[in-house]
Chains A and B, each alone.
Chain A
Amino acid sequence: MIGIIASFTPHLLVAPLLAAAPAGSEVCLADFNQVHQSLLDVESSFEQPPDQLVVCWRIEDVFGPALVDWVVRESDPAGLREDVRQLGLLVGQAAATHAIPVVACTPPTPTFVWLDPLDARSSVRLAVLHGQLVQAFVEGIGQAPVTLVDLAALLQLHGTARAYDSRNDLMYHQPLTRPFAQALGTLLGEALGSLGRPTPKVLAVDADNTLWLGIVGEDGPDGVVIGDSFPGSGYRAFQQGLVYQAAHGALIALVSKNNAADIEEIFARRGGDMALSSEHLAAQRVDWNSKADNLSAIADELGLGVDSFVFIDDNDVELDEVRQRLPHVDLVKVSDEPEEVAEITRRLTAFRFARVSGEDRVRTQMMKGESDRRAAAAGAPSHADFLASLGISVHVFEPGPAHVGRVTQLINKTNQFNLTTVRRDEAAVAALVTSQAHRVYAAEVTDRFGGYGLVAVAVVDCGIDAWEIETLLMSCRVLRRGVEDAILQCIGDDAVTAGASMLRGSYRPTSKNGQVAAFYPDRGFTATGEGLYEVSLPLSVAPEHVAVLRDA
Chain B
Amino acid sequence: MSDRLLDVFSKGLNLPASQLSDETSPSNTPTWDSLAAMEMVVLLEDAFDVRLKTSEIMKMRSIGLARNVLRSKGVEDI
- B42 interface contact, C-beta 8 A: yes
Distance (whole angstroms) from the CB of B21 to the closest CB of chain A: 24
Interface pair A174/B38, CB less than 8 Å apart: yes
Residue interface mask B41-54, A partner, CB < 8 A = 1: 11000100000011
A178 with B42: CB separation less than 8 A: yes
Quick one: closest B residue to A171, CB to CB?
B54
The number of chain A residues with a CB under 8 A from chain B is: 11
- For window 240-296 of chain A, which residues contact chain B by CB distance below 8 Å? none
User: Tally of A-B residue pairs with Cβ under 8 A?
Assistant: 22
- Contact partners of B23 in chain A: CB under 8 A: none
Q: Are A12 and B42 in contact (CB under 8 A)?
A: yes
CB distance from B41 to the nearest CB of A (A): 7
Q: Is the CB of A167 within 8 A of B35?
A: no
Q: Does B2 contact A (CB under 8 A)?
A: no
Task: Give B40-75 as 1s and 0s: 1 = Cβ < 8 Å from A's Cβ atoms.
Answer: 011000100000011001000000000000000000
Contact A178 B38 (CB under 8 A): no
Instruction: Confirm or deny: B39 has a beta carbon within 8 angstroms of a beta carbon on chain A.
Output: yes
B28 at the interface (CB under 8 A from A): no
Are A11 and B57 in contact, CB atoms less than 8 angstroms apart?
Answer: no
CA distance A170 to B54 in the complex (A): 9
Residue of B30, B38, B57 with most partner-chain A CB within 10 A: B38
- Please give the distance in Å from B66's CB to the nearest CB on chain A: 15
CB of B46 within 8 A of CB of A172, answer: no
C-alpha spacing A60/B5, complex, angstroms: 36
Taken together as a complex, chains A and B put the C-alpha atoms of A296 and B39 apart, in Å, by: 52
- Smallest Cβ-Cβ distance to B58: which chain A residue: A171
Contact with B along A166-178 (1 / 0, CB 8 A): 0110111010001
- Per the bound structure, the CA–CA distance linking A314 and B54 in Å amounts to 55
Give min CB distance, A402 to chain B, whole Å.
Answer: 24
Is B18 located at the chain interface by the 8 A CB criterion? no
CB within 8 A of A11: which of B38, B46, B53?
A: B38
Cβ–Cβ < 8 Å partners of A172 in chain B: 34, 37-38
Contact with B along A155-196 (1 / 0, CB 8 A): 000000000000110111010001000000000000000000
Q: Min CB distance, B51 to chain A, in Å?
A: 9
Tell me the interface secondary structure of chain B in the complex: helix
Determine how close the nearest CB of chain B comes to the CB of A382; give it in whole angstroms. Answer: 33
Which residues from B are CB-within-8-Å of A168?
38, 41-42
Contact A11:B39 (CB < 8 A) given known A172-B34, A178-B46: yes
Kindly provide the distance from the CB of B16 to the nearest chain A CB, expressed in whole angstroms.
20
Q: How far is B53's CA from A171's CA once the two chains are assembled, in angstroms?
A: 11
Interface membership of chain B positions 3-40, coded 1 if the CB is closer than 8 angstroms to chain A and 0 otherwise: 00000000000000000000000000010001101110
A167 closest partner in B (C-beta): B54
Q: How far is the CA of A12 from the CA of B45 in the complex (A)?
A: 15
Whether, in the assembled complex, A106 has its beta carbon less than 8 Å from a beta carbon of chain B, the answer is no
Answer whether residue A9 sits at the interface, using C-beta atoms and an 8 A cutoff: yes
Pair B35/A11 contact, Cβ less than 8 Å: yes
Interface residues of A in 1-60 (CB under 8 A from B): 9, 11-12
Bound-state Cα–Cα, A9 to B38, Å: 10
Complex: how many Å from CA A80 to CA B19? Answer: 52
Chain B CB within 10 Å — which of A12, A172, A178 has the most? Answer: A172
A residues in contact with B34, CB < 8 Å: 172
A482 → B minimal CB distance (Å): 26
Nearest-CB distance from B26 to chain A (Å)?
Answer: 12
B34 CB, nearest partner CB in chain A, Å: 7
**Nearest opposing residue in chain A for B57, CB measure:** A171
Residue of A nearest to B37 (CB): A172
B residues less than 8 Å from A167 (CB atoms):
53-54
Q: CA–CA, A171 to B30, complex, Å?
A: 20
B41 to chain A: which residues have CB within 8 Å? 168
- Cα separation A174 to B34 with both chains bound (whole Å): 12
**Complex contacts, B53 vs chain A, CB 8 Å:** 167
What distance in Å separates the Cβ of B47 from its nearest Cβ neighbour in chain A?
A: 12
Cβ of B42: which chain A residues have Cβ within 8 Å of it? 12, 168, 178
Q: Which residues of B contact A9 (CB under 8 A)?
A: 35, 38
For residue B54, which residues in chain A have a CB less than 8 angstroms away from its CB? 167, 170-171
What are the interface flags for A386-415 relative to B under an 8 Å C-beta threshold, 1 for contact and 0 otherwise?
A: 000000000000000000000000000000
Which A-chain residue is minimally distant from B52 (CB atoms)?
A167
Within the complex, the shortest CB–CB distance from B68 to chain A, in Å, comes to 20
Q: How far is the CA of A369 from the CA of B41 in the complex (A)?
A: 48
Return B46 CB to nearest CB of chain A, in Å: 7
Contacts of A511 in B (CB 8 A): 30
Complex formed: what's the CA distance from A172 to B42 in Å? 12
B35 surroundings in chain A (CB, below 8 A) = 9, 11
Who on chain B is nearest to A165 by CB?
A: B42
B5: min CB distance to chain A, Å: 19
Q: CB distance B46 to A171 under 8 Å?
A: no
Q: Which residues of B contact A178 (CB under 8 A)?
A: 42, 46
Interface string of A316-355 (1 = CB under 8 A from B): 0000000000000000000000000000000000000000
Alpha-carbon separation in the docked complex, A74 to B4 (Å) = 52
**Chain B residue at minimum C-beta to C-beta distance from A172:** B38
Q: Could you jot down 5 A-B contacts, CB within 8 Å?
A: A11-B35, A167-B54, A172-B37, A172-B38, A174-B38
Residues of A within 8 A of B (CB): 9, 11-12, 167-168, 170-172, 174, 178, 511
With A9-B38, A171-B54 given, name 17 new contacts (CB 8 A).
A9-B35, A11-B35, A11-B38, A11-B39, A167-B53, A167-B54, A168-B38, A168-B41, A168-B42, A170-B54, A171-B38, A171-B57, A172-B34, A174-B38, A178-B42, A178-B46, A511-B30
Pick the 4 closest A-B CB pairs, nearest first. Answer: A172-B38, A178-B42, A174-B38, A171-B54
